[in-house]
Amino acid sequence: MKYIQFKLLLLLLLACTFFSCEKQLNVFPTNKLVDGNVIIDLKSAETVLNGVYYAFANVGLDYASLESVKWISVNEILPSELSGTLAYSYGQDGFMNMAYRNSSPVLVSKWKYGYNIVNAANGFLKNIGPVSNIPSKRKEQMIAEAKFLRAFANADLLLYFGHYYDVNSKYGIILRDEFVSADNVKLPRSTVAATYHSILKDLDEAIAALPPLNTQIHYANVWVAKMLKARVLINRGAPGDYNQVINLTEDIINNSSFKLEANLKDLFQVKGFASQEVMLSVQPFPNDSWKFYLNNTSVDYYVTPALKDLLANDPRKAWMYKDAANINGILPSVTKYYSGPAIKPVKTPLVCNSYAFRLTEAYLTQAEAIALSGADLSLAKSRLKKVLTCAGISDFTVVDEATTPAAMQLLVVQEVCKNFLQESGLDWFALRRLPLATLKTLRPGVKSVYSLTLPIPIVEINANGLIEPNPVD
């Protein structure tokens, strides 16, 4: 048995060498390997941790059966559809029009995405614990990275599938702190309060041990952990949360090494991960084409009239979308990441890059938290103006005329929807924080607060008799 485990580990390490762990994501170990005694030293621990990042990036096969980073499929398209700024090119899929179907394969993919990360992180944490020949400081950091990734996944699951807006609700998520086996696959949902407690506990422990910068920008650092904590707290909105968000984001803005990109277009189309604004990247494979295919070759999703109206007087309308050919005709394609010709597209170097965290989030999150807290709006306006300047806007009349917290929040949310179009889900999260009456005017498909939560996939309900479905309108 030990010989077999050694051979499996050796094959895993060879795979790591072949795919150059220091430069790109490594092949994700199988569940059996993650749960087995494959961590025997620092090298093997790094290999298995890379597997957790592999799950975070949502690596899968494209239509040509080539490994591809499919972050776009779970973290970019869905939230912008829900926000009303993207639509499916081949008819209604239940998200842009908010007619959710619990049988949707998109829902299944989103659900599995979160729990794949959780499971991989739990397997790593289980097996690194007993290993004593890893330098203690490095071991602490690796454990912190795994806890950050688990917190990210649990937060993502809560914000999409749980009643994140009600800390007294029973509709949290399934909290898993052990590697899934036949004995523990069926579990009930935890409460929202318990879910938040688990996420914040992981984040606080990650913050205590993560470095200011990691070896690569696609590995977690202390600032992204603080940013994720702020993201979680502004969505919870409990007493004292907004002040915590203001303090966390102030710390990030003033004390991290990250800087806003002076020209937002340059970040996506010229500098990419070299930009000082990028806090955590999602790196594609060298021959990756998945994102380019969906956005620019096939044009599976197109920019809606709602987004066009939002960008009507905004210089970003010149480069964030362009008319492109689809089998249904000419549609406005997303060109935020693409600098080539929209008709007869040719793959460009940065077109498949994805961005999990950028510094702009700290500025806009702080501005919104100030408005929600009822504090003086001067700093909020300053933060928003700084972001708008980087987007090429110089007329701040609407910002200066915002004299109420509600008006300020709406301006910030509108900028989030533009700045973070098809990026990391921030657009949908921000839109839902608006008062329900305001949200209904922007997204008429919203019937009640229940519209803010996706249904639990029917495959999960059928497989797990202990889980209670979400209530519906």
Residue spans per domain, the chain: 1-210, 289-351
For the ranges 15-24, 303-312, 442-451, which has the lowest average pLDDT? 15-24
- Report the pLDDT averaged over residues 239-243: 98
pLDDT band at 18 (very low <50, low <70, confident <90, very high): very low
Amino acid at 24: Q
Give tens-digit pLDDT for 390-402.
999 999 999 999 9
**pLDDT value of residue 11:** 38
Give tens-digit pLDDT for 141-198.
999 999 999 999 999 999 999 999 999 999 999 999 988 876 778 999 999 999 999 9
Q: In this structure, what token pair is assigned to residue 2?
A: 């030990």
Give tens-digit pLDDT for 204-229.
999 999 999 999 999 999 999 999 99
User: 97, 447 in Cβ contact below 8 A?
Assistant: no
- Report the pLDDT averaged over residues 352-369: 98
The residues, any chain, with a CB within 8 Å of residue 68's CB and separated by 6 or more, are 59, 60, 61, 62, 284, 285, 288, 289, 290
Question: Nearest-CA neighbor of 45 among 123, 148, 152, 149?
Answer: 123
% of the chain residues with pLDDT over 70: 92
Pinpoint the alpha helices (H) of 237-296. 241-255, 264-266, 290-292
The residues, any chain, with a CB within 8 Å of residue 370's CB and separated by 6 or more, are 242, 246, 376, 377, 379, 380, 383, 408
Q: What is the DSSP string of 368-392?
A: HHHHHHT--SHHHHHHHHHHHHHTT
- Half-sphere CA count of 226, side-chain side, radius 13 A: 25
Give tens-digit pLDDT for 53-108.
999 999 999 999 999 999 999 999 999 999 999 999 999 999 999 999 999 999 99
Q: In this structure, what token pair is assigned to residue 290?
A: 């998945």
1-210 topology per CATH: 1.25.40
**pLDDT value of residue 14:** 34
**pLDDT value of residue 180:** 85
* Helices 405-419 and 378-390, packing angle to 10 deg: 20
Chain length of the chain: 473
For residue 53, CA distances in Å to 24, 175, 201 come to: 10, 20, 20
% of the chain residues with pLDDT over 90: 89
Q: What is the DSSP string of 399-450?
A: HHT--SHHHHHHHHHHHHHHHTTTTSSHHHHHHHTS-HHHHHHH-TT--SGG
pLDDT band at 34 (very low <50, low <70, confident <90, very high): low
Give tens-digit pLDDT for 402-432.
999 999 999 999 999 999 999 999 999 999 9
The residues, any chain, with a CB within 8 Å of residue 55's CB and separated by 6 or more, are 28, 113, 116, 117, 119, 120, 149
Residue 466 confidence (pLDDT) above 70: yes
